Amino acid sequence: MKKILAVVFAGLLAFPAGAADTAEGPPELPVMSGDDVDLKEFLWIKRPIVVFADTPNDPSFIQQMDFLEEDIPAILLRDIIVVTDTDPAAKSELRRTLRPRGFMLVLMDKDGGVKMRKPAPWDMREIRRSIDKWPTRQQEIRDNLGKE
């Protein structure tokens, strides 16, 4: 019994050290600039969350980006890509398509459809709950139930 306990204890001590060697660090928020983004490239691959502001110093923009940084694992789990556009003078294709006024948060699904527009920052809890109600996300959840 003592030998088994010693082997188990030694195995537990060795595991964290090996895991630390292979870890790449904390995941980063997947962010792209909206200057040259074509939303069609994300069709059926990613869910774009587009964050517009008139300047990167807009308090709402800063708060929204902080909210998104809070729960990166949830963003990665839901195949979200964050697209930012803080230069209205550039008149990007993204701005011509979505027509924001000042700060705007746009939630889009993998089918390319705009599911929600918000004139104020949303925290990750609200974003998660909204996305998890969409039919495409519901299907992903059902598909992944048997894989775990």
What is the chain's pLDDT, residue by residue, as a tens digit (148 residues)?
444 434 444 444 444 444 444 457 889 999 999 988 999 999 999 999 999 999 999 999 999 999 999 999 999 999 999 999 999 999 999 999 999 999 999 999 999 999 999 999 999 999 999 999 999 999 999 999 877 5
pLDDT at residue 4, rounded to an integer: 45
Which string of b and e fits 98-127 if b means at least 16 CB within 10 Å?
A: bebeebbbbbbbbeeeeebebeebbeeeeb
Ordered structural domains, the chain, with CATH: 31-145 (3.40.30.10)
Residues sharing a CB contact under 8 Å with residue 105, sequence separation 6 or more, in sequence order: 49, 50, 51, 52, 64, 116, 117, 118, 119, 120, 121, 122
Q: Could you tell me the pTM of the whole model?
A: 0.81
Residue 14: its pLDDT value, please?
43
Q: pLDDT at position 36, please?
A: 84
Torsion of CA 40, 87, 124, 147, to 10 degrees: 20
